[in-house]
Structure 1
């Protein structure tokens, strides 16, 4: 299952289009403002009451960036005023102090991820203050297998910063690269040298980081096969443990920075597919395994091993090895997944600040899952992580007859089976080698919200 999937340009072209990436099910557009602070507290209480409470995963969002990257669709604030980090951190510490007591102290934190924005906008002292607050209010696991990761902008981090991060307990790093081609970098306003990037990778290894991930993007303005090929060769030579190769989606109506991009410089669909094919071929020859969606890893990386042993999980942080955790999101826009609930903090900074200042949990929207949601989330999680659906296991866990319950979904799946993307058997549905690059298309066949208005049919019952 870990082999790099074959590239079929015709199929990819036919199924190219917008759609969910299924870092959750239901996806975030289904969240409602009717879900509020009291619902979050109830979800936390219920999760504590499980016979064996799940361990905890923390996500902390740091929104600040020193300069805008025009391709970016993340929730971030552009500023060079470093004092804003202190103000943000003060409120973040207050949020931690409000949220942590809702969860029993004996629930170990086995995963921590800092995302953004640019988390290393916070200096070593500020990061130390944040980690002290988190470790004081939550119980950090002492296991050597715990994952404490941070996203880094190589343009504003040095070897001494990496040493400080290691001292604070971080053992994984993710570096944004996108493309080393100077013409592409100028077009997206991200000038970043090969030398400074490789220096950060070397520093991570020197100071004992267990894993380094590199992010690339294909489909950027002025991008060519020759230039992107050189970027791939440079990155592969550095041998990061993991890579994410994302498709650029040009949506200037949604993301204002993208209005700075000259759309006439974007590669056409054929050229963009060629860039993806190039990435797949080069990574395959270099020995990387395809994990799913846009993610690749070396055979001995923990993602690869987790996939082999059915321990892979997909959530808002992407693919992870910690499937048995409740996820607590902290900071502006952060998303939590507690028991059978999702919740999200306000996406705009003033609203998040106002909630903290008024002593309220900053819950903007969310949802409690229905039995149907839980069932479909289980199915889609299997598909995204294992490239197959174990029909018998789903029937046993959820008390359904699969063929009857999913009659309409299976009808939608027939055209994909005819195109050779899936095989449908009595006991399992499996993505073919050709279908693994289109897992989200297969999963969409089982997404109730894509195919009918939101409702509460009689056969659905709430999970509370």
Structure 2
């Protein structure tokens, strides 16, 4: 394997430098929000949420809706999601009825004229519910909110290909979905047995063919590296098979083994896991294969074909990052992007509010983050009492918005317009971030970034380490110092950077 991945000349291909990766490979947040979810407070007042909704209505921007459907037929041992494992399909209907009730509560405070330009079903396994229930949920959603009828929205759903039939692909398209995300993870039968998740190549091939026949706008596939019994050769086979299927998007996630936090991971013996060096080899090889096939490296763990809307959004400066990952639509509670086109007084891609429904779901509304109860009985009780199911929240301070804007610009665009940040937030960047600039100095010396008085730019060598770069601006972590000296002291959250 080559040491520099961008020798191919492919756009946005990161440079691979094993020494730098090992030096700056720190554990930290995935930055689907800032501050991240662990910093939400139970002291948050519902009055603040209602005030945020009122401000949101006055702005009149489009809406993004998220629905958390937590049910799974079987447990995948690697999973860290909020889920309910059951074979009893009857458990879905009471939950769907409560989702309807929850939407009704929210809808009382939301202007019905605001169009829903993004909608996502996540889980769990959203397609656990029957086809009739899929129609029911979308019908109830349409009763409460203004869904688009012209197929122009970004309406996506996650599916488990091993638990999916071809007829459901047509049903999902019929009720309005136009994007499909499949959690393949690995095609090796040995690996599938080790993690208790099964889907054959033939199943995935047929589902993708059916989705293309139904004219879905985009098909995405998820792969995980670092799973038990995985080898460099076995994941190469999986990646090549995925390339043969030619999905529009691909996510390459790192498996972080944290059985002390996630009970299901205790089913995976530590000795079956690949070593850190093997994981690095898997990642390097996978990126090389994808880039050579023409996939564009969007950032973090996302790749897309050149024609895909993620690539176009990144070029246009409108790419967002939210609780579902990178998105062409989303919620920026930090202010307008320095790279997006905006017009004073009008809504832009970054102005949308995210309303989230279901157990543990997180909403983002006009500089406010709120999360529903994580435990199903607490969620049920709140909805049955006719109240919102929110349990924690946070109103972003001006400092949160400043730092969140910086982190989101870096993670989406690999560059930061310092002059724009200074104008938007009325600060002197050099004075406000004096400690952070000291912490960035070794990254600049090592060739990860280029820093001037006008711009911070992430170089090709730093693209794979974007999380470590963003962490310098995270005020909720320990005071920034030279990351190589301090990485062992940083808090462990969610998933590790690379290995």
TM-score, normalized by the shorter chain, greater than 0.5: yes
Residue in 2 aligned with 1:260?
A: 267
Q: Which residues of 2 match residues 278-317 of structure 1 at below 5 A? A: 278-317=285-324
TM-score (norm 1): 0.95
Residue in 2 aligned with 1:396?
A: 423
TM-superposed deviation, 1:2: 4.1
Residues 1:334 and 2:384 are matched in the alignment:
no
Q: Using the TM superposition, name which of 155-164 and 327-336 deviates more.
A: 155-164
Residue in 2 aligned with 1:14?
A: 23
Paired with 1:328 and 1:409, the residues of 2 have a C-alpha distance of 33
Q: Helix, strand or coil: the match of 2:202?
A: helix
TM-score (norm 2): 0.89
Q: Which residues of 2 match residues 333-412 of structure 1 at below 5 A? A: 333-412=360-439
Residues 1:157 and 2:160 are matched in the alignment:
no
Aligned length: 451
Paired with 1:393 and 1:259, the residues of 2 have a C-alpha distance of 48
Residue in 2 aligned with 1:4?
A: 13
Residue in 2 aligned with 1:191?
A: 198
Paired with 2:65 and 2:464, the residues of 1 have a C-alpha distance of 29
- State the Cα deviation string for residues 16-71 of structure 1 (Å, max 9, x = none): 23101111011111100011422221211121123xx2210000000000000000
Residue in 2 aligned with 1:459?
A: none
- State the Cα deviation string for residues 89-147 of structure 1 (Å, max 9, x = none): 01111001101221111111000000000000011111111111111111113454311
Paired with 1:97 and 1:56, the residues of 2 have a C-alpha distance of 16
- State the Cα deviation string for residues 136-159 of structure 1 (Å, max 9, x = none): 111113454311100001112111
Paired with 1:245 and 1:291, the residues of 2 have a C-alpha distance of 11
Residue in 1 aligned with 2:466?
A: 439
Task: Give unmatched runs, 5+ long, in structure 1.
Answer: 454-464
Residues 1:415 and 2:436 are matched in the alignment:
no
Q: Is the 8 A contact 2:161 2:204 kept in 1?
A: yes
Aligned Cα root-mean-square deviation (Å): 1.2
Q: Is the 8 A contact 1:162 1:203 kept in 2?
A: yes
Residue in 1 aligned with 2:186?
A: 179
Q: Is the 8 A contact 1:245 1:295 kept in 2?
A: yes
- State the Cα deviation string for residues 233-273 of structure 1 (Å, max 9, x = none): 10000000000000000000000000000110111110000
Residue in 1 aligned with 2:42?
A: 33
Q: Which residues of 2 match residues 213-252 of structure 1 at below 5 A? A: 213-252=220-259
Residue in 1 aligned with 2:347?
A: none
Residue in 1 aligned with 2:454?
A: 427
Q: Helix, strand or coil: the match of 1:449?
A: coil
Paired with 1:106 and 1:403, the residues of 2 have a C-alpha distance of 44
Runs of 4+ in structure 1 deviating by more than 4 angstroms, as ranges, are: none
TM-superposed deviation, 1:226: 1.0
